[in-house]
Amino acid sequence: MFIIARAPGTPAIPSRRKDFSVNRIGIFILATVLLCAPVVGAPTTAEIGSQADAYRRLRVLRGHFQGGVWNDDVDRWGGRKHVVMDWLLTKLFGG
């Protein structure tokens, strides 16, 4: 059996008010971090427009898989079209 010594005048049950204020501060900090995190890495309108224009240009190119000749920008894994599509997916949809 454990015996816990208390200072004279200390209540046996700790005050719930102190615990509540600590919890409120923790919740406030967590909410602030969660709400501000997406804003920090958000792309600018110019970046989105630039990447969208690049995708539109690359989308109309006819590559090997559309019956044309091989085009590294369009057909290669990690080619320009692949990189642009991946950027758009990640920045716009968090994917």
Domain residue ranges in the chain: 44-95
Write down the pLDDT at residue 1: 52
Q: What is the DSSP letter of 8?
A: T
Write down the pLDDT at residue 70: 95
pTM of the full structure: 0.55
One pLDDT digit (tens) per residue for the chain, 95 residues: 555 666 666 666 555 555 555 567 777 777 776 666 555 567 788 889 999 999 999 999 999 988 999 999 999 999 999 999 999 998 888 75
Q: Is 16 in contact with 53 (CB distance < 8 Å)?
A: no
Write down the pLDDT at residue 77: 94
First to last CA, the chain: 55
Write down the pLDDT at residue 71: 93
The CA angle 89-84-64, to the nearest 5 degrees, is: 115
